[in-house]
Chain A
Amino acid sequence: AQSVSQHNHHVILSEAASLELGCNYSYGGTVNLFWYVQYPGQHLQLLLKYFSGDPLVKGIKGFEAEFIKSKFSFNLRKPSVQWSDTAEYFCAVNLNTGTASKLTFGTGTRLQVTL
């Protein structure tokens, strides 16, 4: 069964600091990779996704992620965080099968950005 690991459970950064959140998955087949953000009390919003092609993907709000197949990783980065980035970040994976495929989520990383 596929699984997703997010090693950082709680990250505290000052505004303007750089961010990198780790995500590793266990499945060796062809997968789709996602990062979702959940602001306090809100629903999951898609930040970015990787299906194929350029392993460096750019998403909304200045976020980017790099897919490294050899490391089974899909780390999320942002050069300079803002207070408004305070939220929970979930990495998710599903199988690229051409059929409906459930998402498997990591346990999430709570990011707290201080002023």
Chain B
Amino acid sequence: AAGVIQSPRHLIKEKRETATLKCYPIPRHDTVYWYQQGPGQDPQFLISFYEKMQSDKGSIPDRFSAQQFSDYHSELNMSSLELGDSALYFCASSQLDNTETQYFGPGTRLLVL
């Protein structure tokens, strides 16, 4: 079965640089979520989109922005990167129905030097 695809899988950036993370949801899934998992921590919700509209917003810094495109893929744009942004960034997708279940991608490991 098709899974959530994320690219790149690994990313190394310098402080103050920008990064763009991409997420391709499972086919026919209409909702995308972004989570950030710091070292040894639980995933923290950043932002979500349903049918290309932002549906919820969590602890996402103002330096970050995201959108969902017409083909349902999503991109997380991160600017003015800080050392503390080093983390694993997961995307999850779901199909909004009575049993909404989020399926996670493999994540993008971002290291800011």
Report A's interface with B, CB cutoff 8 A.
32, 34, 36, 42-46, 49, 51, 90, 94, 98-108
Contact = CB atoms under 8 A, between A and B. Distances in A.
B31 A45 contact: no
Given A44-B43, A108-B42, A100 B100 contact: yes
Interface residues of B, number: 27
Contacts of A34: 101
23 contacts: A43-B90, A43-B104, A44-B43, A44-B90, A46-B101, A51-B98, A90-B43, A98-B98, A100-B31, A100-B33, A100-B48, A100-B56, A100-B94, A100-B96, A101-B56, A102-B45, A102-B48, A102-B56, A103-B102, A104-B45, A105-B42, A107-B41, A107-B42
A100 B35 CA distance: 14
A22 B105 CA distance: 26
Interface of B: 31, 33, 35, 41-45, 48, 50, 55-56, 58, 90, 92, 94, 96, 98-107
Contacts of A43: 90, 104-107
Nearest to A6: B42
A100 B104 contact: no
Contacts of B107: 43
Contacts of A99: 50, 55, 96
Most central of B35, B102, B104 by chain A CB within 10 Å: B102
A23 B34 CA distance: 23
A94 B56 CA distance: 13
Most central of A34, A90, A94, A106 by chain B CB within 10 Å: A94
A51 B99 contact: yes
A15 B106 CA distance: 28
Nearest to B53: A100
Contact of A44 (B44, B96, B104): B104
Given A99-B55, A102-B48, A49 B33 contact: no
Most central of A49, A100, A101, A105 by chain B CB within 10 Å: A100
A46 B103 contact: yes
Most central of B35, B43, B98, B99 by chain A CB within 10 Å: B43
